[in-house]
Amino acid sequence: MWFRFRQSSLSVAGLGIVVAIVFCAVFAPVLTPHPEHAGSFVDFENSLRPPSPKNPLGTDDAGRDVLSRMLFGARISVTLGIIVLAIAVAVGVPLGLIAGYWGGRLGDAIMRVTDVFLAVPPIALALAVTAALRPNLTNAMIAIAFAWWPWYTRLVYGQVLSLKEEQFVEASRGLGAGPLRIAFREILPNAWSTILIKVTLDMGFVILTASGLSFLGLGAQPPTAEWGTMIAEGRIYLPGYWWAATFPGLAIFMTVLGFNLLGDGLRDVFDVHIEQWQAGS
């Protein structure tokens, strides 16, 4: 399987990007030249300096090193992505399994609720939820998870429906296995590859959505070094002092690209068609 993956240079590039970003995220405190800049730090003398050997990506309006902040931003984004998707999967997948396998009135009810959530574009829903709560990063995560879980329910539901009729399930049932056992031992292992692909692709889109929310002021608040917030802060100083707003955007772009390439590569390897289930655009 690794061999097939390796055949696509783009997929390998994607993997490389993802690894690099995760690396930055994990080792941010060690990697950054100025770790203290990640929070609230002020040095107005060095405010808005263009890229230089001392500050490879320049400084922002408070004199903070953009590069350091970006590395910490990676940490925030990656953590955010993992948490959000963990919640979405933890909620959405079991619901999908139940709705698909047991069906009946419970299943219908679950899918009906899922439809309600899916009736609104995820960003709009996340916005609405964030507004209901105080705007900060944690609430943004909750909001996005709130908007994202139905996609997993729908995905798993579809998978269960198609796998339910497969022979090995029949065989298992014939042997007397209970529904819980079948759901988790037979069906889930076959569906997990699809889920994995979607999670990989979603990582990028969740980070994109989160940075969008932060940009609007509804997510991470200053002085947190989140990429979206950094763009919002640096935006005022365009076009003259372009570096503060441009580089974080580039970071978002590369991250999403990396996860997309990786996800595409995984999809080729597992040979699955899930174009309809992608959330994000």
Partner 1 sequence: MIPVMVGLSILIFVISRVMPGDPVRLALGPEANIEQIEQLRRQMGLDKPVHVQYFSYVSGVFRGDFGYSLLTRRAVARDLKDFFPATLELTTLAMILSILLGVPLGVRAAVRKDALEDHMNRVVALAGVALPRFWLAILLQIAFAYHLGLLPTIGRGPAPATQITGLYLLDSLLTLDFNAFIVSLKHIAMPAFALSVGTLAQIMRLIRASMIEEMRRDHALAARSYGLPSNLIIYRYLLKNAFTSTLTIIGLSYGFLLGNAFLVERVFAWPGLAFYGVDTLLAKDFNGVIAVTLVVGVAYAVINLFVDILYGYIDPRIRYGEG
Q: Please, what is the minimum distance in Å from the beta carbon of residue 201 to partner 1?
A: 10
Among 1, 119, 165, 271, binds partner 1 (CB under 8 A): 119
Spatial separation of the C-alpha atoms in residues 126 and 213, rounded to whole Å: 8
Kindly list the distances between the CA atom of residue 81 and the CA atoms of 155, 157, 202, 259, in Å, as whole numbers in the listed order.
19, 23, 8, 11
Among 116, 171, 180, 236, binds partner 1 (CB under 8 A): 116
Residue 206 as a binder of partner 1 (CB under 8 A): the answer is no
| Residue nearer to partner 1 on the CB measure, 169 or 234 | 234
Q: Please, what is the minimum distance in Å from the beta carbon of residue 68 to partner 1?
A: 20
Binding segment toward partner 1, per CB under 8 A, in 60-68, 76-84, 130-138, 191-199: 130-138
Tell me, residue by residue from 8 to 47, as one string, x for binding to partner 1 by CB under 8 A and - for no binding: --x-------------------------------------
8 Å CB contact between 155 and 274: yes
Residue 272 as a binder of partner 1 (CB under 8 A): the answer is no
Q: In terms of C-beta density within 10 A (0-12 exposed, 13-18 middle, 19 or more buried), how is residue 85 classed?
A: buried
Residue 77 as a binder of partner 1 (CB under 8 A): the answer is no
| Residue nearer to partner 1 on the CB measure, 10 or 31 | 10
Residue with tokens 């989140």: 226
Residue 168 as a binder of partner 1 (CB under 8 A): the answer is no
Interface positions, 210-249, toward partner 1 (CB under 8 A): 211-212, 215-218, 231, 235, 238-239, 242, 245-246, 249
The pair of structure tokens assigned to 82 is 């993992």
Residue 271 as a binder of partner 1 (CB under 8 A): the answer is no
